[in-house]
């Protein structure tokens, strides 16, 4: 392994005072020596930054305070610009702040990334934090209607069934090593995505330029799922309905969009109905609102035409 490669670990924080120190501490235990950590704080109202400053006394940590919540994409873009453009990093490792990374993970990610200059993203096994041998994701399936399909391995006990290095259609970016070449060619996240689907769009853009998304079983991380936003929050329902729709309209053909929209309308209405049964009326409303917000965004930005709606279901 070329330990001369400079890796910047980017951790986007938002009110993570209970978990951020564990995340940073796990990175500092890495067996890869040539790394720097950048904590990008999105206007936290808690003691996150104070906690980091008090607990860690090392030149390996830089804190960037955005002053307000810029969202996931714009927040991480601050770190990507700093690392790649100002510090000439060779790679950036994007990490959620509610994670613990294995000591060998960065070495293993780099080992794969160095095999081909067209490898743009590398990830590994993501486990549930509270069930340390149960997989959350090892990549995403390709779906004929939704394009970005379900998580591979979700909820399965790790028995070595995903122990081969391979290319994936898409991945979650709970932790992802990103190459400098990719950043130079296509830039970072698209800032129109405040939350959800940002990695989906980034990977779609990368694939159009011939970049590969690779999974290695030898890099491991444990994740407290949806710690920041909550997996059942109304905000998440809104963006989950809205943003994948925008990705489809940006990257796929009108006929593909029509099939997707027909399917998504059914899924959104069914999900909202289930929420109303549970008396979660606000979440149900935000779910439907997200779908219409995505359609309106496409019309307003001239990404949707009549061809996206005629011949319904064809």
CA 96 to chain centre: 8
Q: What is the pLDDT of residue 310?
A: 84
Q: What is the pLDDT of residue 127?
A: 98
Nearest to 40 by CA among 188, 240, 181, 214: 188
| Helix, strand, coil percent values for the chain (each to nearest 5) | 40, 25, 35
Contact between residue 119 and residue 212 where contact means Cβ atoms under 8 Å apart:
yes
Q: What is the pLDDT along the chain (314 residues), one digit of tens a residue?
A: 567 899 999 999 999 999 999 999 999 999 999 999 999 999 999 999 999 999 998 999 999 999 999 999 999 999 999 999 999 999 999 999 999 999 999 999 999 999 999 999 999 999 999 999 999 999 999 999 999 999 999 999 999 999 999 999 999 999 999 999 999 999 999 999 999 999 999 999 999 999 999 999 999 999 997 666 666 789 999 999 999 999 999 999 999 999 999 999 999 999 999 999 999 999 999 999 999 999 999 999 999 999 999 874 44
* Confidence (pLDDT) at 233: 86
Residue spans in the chain of domains classed CATH 3.90.550.60: 7-223
- Top CATH class of 7-223 equals alpha beta
Q: How far apart are CA 124 and CA 28, in angstroms?
A: 19
Model pLDDT, residue 314 = 45
Using DSSP's 3-state secondary structure scheme, residue 209 falls into coil
**Are 268 and 287 in contact, with CB atoms under 8 Å apart?**
yes
Dist. CA 150–CA 67, nearest whole Å: 35
Residue 120 contacts residue 178 (beta carbons within 8 Å):
yes
What's the CA gap between 65 and 82, in Å, rounded? 13
What pLDDT score does 230 carry?
A: 61
| pLDDT score, position 83 | 98
Q: Which pLDDT score is estimated for 227?
A: 67
What pTM value is reported for the model? 0.93
Cβ-contact 41, 17 below 8 angstroms = no
**What number of residues does the chain have?**
314
Q: Where do we find the tokens 């069934």?
A: 161
- pLDDT at position 311 is 77
């Amino acid at each position: 392994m070329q330990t001369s490669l400079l890796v910047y670990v980017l951790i986007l924080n938002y009110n993570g005072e209970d978990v951020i120190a564990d995340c940073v501490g796990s990175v500092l235990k890495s067996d890869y020596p040539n790394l720097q950590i950048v904590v990008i704080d999105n206007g936290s109202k808690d003691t996150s930054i104070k906690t980091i400053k008090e607990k860690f006394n090392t030149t390996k940590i830089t804190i960037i305070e955005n002053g307000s919540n810029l969202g996931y994409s714009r927040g991480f873009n601050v770190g990507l610009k700093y690392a790649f453009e100002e510090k000439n990093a060779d790679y950036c490792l994007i990490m959620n702040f509610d994670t613990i990374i294995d000591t060998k993970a960065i070495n293993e990610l780099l080992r794969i990334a160095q095999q081909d200059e067209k490898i743009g993203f590398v990830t590994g096994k993501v486990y549930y934090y509270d069930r340390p041998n149960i997989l959350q994701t090892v990549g995403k399936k390709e779906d004929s209607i939704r394009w970005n399909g379900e998580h591979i391995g979700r909820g399965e006990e790790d028995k070595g069934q995903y122990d081969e290095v391979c290319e994936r259609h898409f991945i979650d970016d709970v932790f992802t090593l990103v190459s400098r070449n990719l950043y130079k060619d296509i830039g970072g996240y698209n800032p129109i995505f405040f939350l959800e689907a940002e990695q989906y769009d980034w990977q779609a853009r990368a694939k159009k330029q011939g970049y590969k998304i690779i999974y290695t079983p030898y890099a491991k991380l444990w994740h407290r799922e949806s710690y920041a936003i909550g997996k059942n929050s109304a905000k998440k329902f809104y963006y989950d309905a809205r943003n994948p729709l925008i990705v489809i309209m940006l990257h796929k053909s009108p006929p593909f969009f029509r099939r997707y929209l027909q399917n998504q309308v059914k899924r959104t209405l069914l999900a909202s109905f289930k929420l109303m049964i549970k008396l979660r009326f606000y979440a149900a409303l935000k779910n439907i609102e997200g779908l219409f917000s995505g359609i309106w965004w496409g019309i307003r930005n001239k990404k949707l035409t009549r061809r996206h709606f005629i011949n319904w279901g064809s």
